[in-house]
Amino acid sequence: MLGNVDTRPLNLVVPLKQARALHRHLGMETCGDLLRHYPRKYLHYGSGGALEGTSEGDTISVIGDIVSARSNPKAAKPMHIITVFDGTATIEATFFGSRYAAGVLTEGRRVMLTGKLGYYRGAPQLKHPDFVLLDGSAEATGALRQLAHFGKIDDILAGREWLPMYPATSKVSTWTIMGAVHAVLSTLPRIEEPLGATPIGFCSLDLAIRGVHAPPPEGPGRALARLKYEEASGVALVMAVRRAEQAQRVTTALPHVRGGDMDTLLNRLPYTLTDGQSLVLGEISADLSRPRPMSRLLQGEVGSGKTIVSLVAMLQAIDNGAQCALLAPTEVLVAQHARSLQETTMRAGLPTRIVALTGSMSAGRRQEALLSIVSGEADIVVGTHALLQEAVEFFRLGLVIVDEQHRFGVEQRDALRAKSPDAPPHMLVMTATPIPRTMAITVFGDLEISTLKELPGGRKPIQSSLVPEFKPRWVARAWEKIREEAAAGRQAYIVCPRIDGPGGVTETAEALADTEFEDLSVGVLHGRLPAEEKDAVMADFSAGGIDVLVSTTVIEVGVDVPNATVMMVRESEHFGVSQLHQLRGRVGRGGNASLCLFHTRAEPGTPAFERVSQVAATSDGFELAELDLKARQEGDILGAAQSGNRRTLRLINLVADYDIVRRAYDDAEEFVARFPAQAADAARELVTTVPEEWEYLDKT
């Protein structure tokens, strides 16, 4: 969030014992930390919904009217039973041996109950819940008495139609947080607008902070909208400042050289580029021709032809005497890229020198590679993280390409930029994981974005089928299909979620070699194999020496074997939506009809089964990206687990809040243009205040 809402130490406003608990268990030090701990939901008197999304055993809170009350004082253990109507449902609460409850919980009173949800003959019930009377007396029991640490319960609950329920722990209850927030808000001076004026169409930040914790009768909607806008504005301002700074940088222009190697390759390709590839190449070529460093993201469907686009771009740089670096996430992918690029340039009759650099190379080979890089002899250097080491020096680095950018963070990109400090290199980052539109402007707001959707000519859509373990005949047919493809001279992948143990690569390969595929050549590939062995296995598979390759997700990205026409992903419920789509893209890379089989042990009706079913039913990566985002929500994508209590985005839903995010980005662009110095100061304060959040944001 822009600005500091309240920097007062929490222990100066909240009782010391409670302040210590908030610090120890929720990491809160200042009043601002507490005010940014937003409610997870609200109880609204008369609107019901207490049971929505709950399961038996959950602790719930219910606000409603007591519509009936009865006691059994003569029983061995006297009981008092009330029925509460919350606006949509009735819930029964039973109190044992409590004369106090029997005396005050009478028909017609308004009450809030908090307890563990149970069911009896299908009807919801609470046994001996804590309660607080909400009709003026505000008498409370149990955990609800914690409110009294922060003042009179009457004062804290007075006039509230909406009660906030906070993310809590076993040591710090929602009532402790509510009471502490009440104490802070009671002494909070008016909050100033961080950028000077209230954005048009939104309430003030002061009203928003107060209204999200103590909503007015109409509810927290306006407050939440402003706070979502504020969160988006923080990210948007940083991205807008980055874009403005990039626009001021000067580098060496690498224009199109007519008749150069780039033109030669394009003229000698054995196929025609798609319209989408030609359009994207035009955008990249124009960027390279300017004396401002290119910062572009190329997102493309699996198999859409990003590699050839990147090679053409690199040849434009080489035509200008520059070197290129291609950063890839795995050694398998580095070896394949180097081999593929060399074959393509050789077929076109080009003298392009391509060098691979990985961490596992022998000292002699590494020294030879480093010498060719620093001397300028190497035109294209393909490498893993080994490229980032200080020992790697370029003669004239002009273009950096980052493949599968989600595997790398901004610090890796900056490390490569630093290889050419006098003239920052142009930067192209690529991903085969389509990015939802809100993510595109939130996380990649400092990059221009190009998109490839269509598949090159000759590529046939990949058929996908679900293979549930509970249908053994389907599983048997899947193995039979793989044997049929092998008999036709094709090859297959079998992807496992682990290396060892039941269902792992090792055990699966051994079992299949002895049973289903005893007449076929079965290979094994996983991350623990030595680099030389991995390269040898992939080379053998590419050459057709292996019929069935049993692998982990080491083949997830970039691996290109056109003869592979069928894949089975074992226990596919253990993989994410985007990962399954990436894996599927390893087949169908030739002109043959291809099939991806998603095996699953998940039960029908479970979220895991539904997720795999949706992937099998949909081949559109952009549609799946939206589905993935909706399923995981922004917490996983933007690093809720990584950033702890100081997470950057707490309220924004990256599926539903596109309009708010778009508005924040447009406003940030205008603000940076009008007040560049103030914008730069605000952005700098944001990044230095929450560095761990921004680091994760950049990596995601």
Residue ranges of domains in the chain, CATH in brackets: 43-165 (2.40.50.140), 462-618 (3.40.50.300)
Amino acid at position 550, single letter: V
Structure-block tokens of residue 539: 């080379």
Structure-block tokens of residue 452: 């490839």
* Beta carbons within 8 Å of 587's beta carbon, 6+ residues apart: 462, 493, 564, 565, 566, 567, 594, 595, 596
More confident residue, 572 or 60: 572
CA distance 654 to 402: 25
Structure-block tokens of residue 113: 């109950």
- pLDDT higher than threshold 60 for residue 158: yes
Q: What is the DSSP string of 490-527?
A: -EEEEE-S-SSSTTSHHHHHHHHHHTTTTTS-EEEE-T
CA distance 458 to 271: 10
Q: Report pLDDT digits (tens) over 233-285.
A: 988 888 888 888 888 889 999 999 999 999 999 999 988 898 999 999 999 99
Q: Report pLDDT digits (tens) over 527-564.
A: 888 888 888 898 899 899 999 999 998 876 657 788 99
- pLDDT higher than threshold 50 for residue 699: no
552 SS3 class: coil
Q: What is the pLDDT of residue 541?
A: 92
How large a percentage of the chain has pLDDT more than 70?
87
Using alpha carbons, select from 290, 248, 250 the residue that is nearest to residue 673.
248
Structure-block tokens of residue 248: 């001021």
Q: What is the pLDDT of residue 115?
A: 86
- pLDDT higher than threshold 80 for residue 358: yes
Do 112 and 63 form a contact (C-beta atoms < 8 A)? yes
Question: Locate tokens 């549930």: which residue?
Answer: 468
Q: What is the pLDDT of residue 19?
A: 95
Q: Report pLDDT digits (tens) over 92-131.
A: 999 988 888 888 899 998 888 888 899 988 889 999 888 8
Q: Report pLDDT digits (tens) over 424-479.
A: 899 998 887 777 666 666 666 677 888 887 776 666 778 999 999 999 999 999 99
CA distance 495 to 498: 9
Q: Report pLDDT digits (tens) over 590-649.
A: 778 899 999 999 999 888 899 899 999 988 777 787 777 666 544 333 333 323 334 456
| Distance spanning both ends of the chain, measured CA to CA | 19
What is the chain's Cα-based Rg?
31
Do 558 and 427 form a contact (C-beta atoms < 8 A)? no
Q: What is the pLDDT of residue 283?
A: 96
- pLDDT higher than threshold 60 for residue 686: yes
CA 130 to the chain's CA centroid:
39
- pTM of the full predicted structure? 0.68
Q: Which of 316-320, 542-546, 679-683 has the highest mean pLDDT?
A: 316-320
In 351-470, where do the E strands start and end? 354-357, 380-383, 397-402, 426-431, 448-452, 462-468
CA triplet 24, 29, 33: central angle to 5 degrees?
Answer: 110
Q: What is the pLDDT of residue 601?
A: 93
CA distance 493 to 488: 15
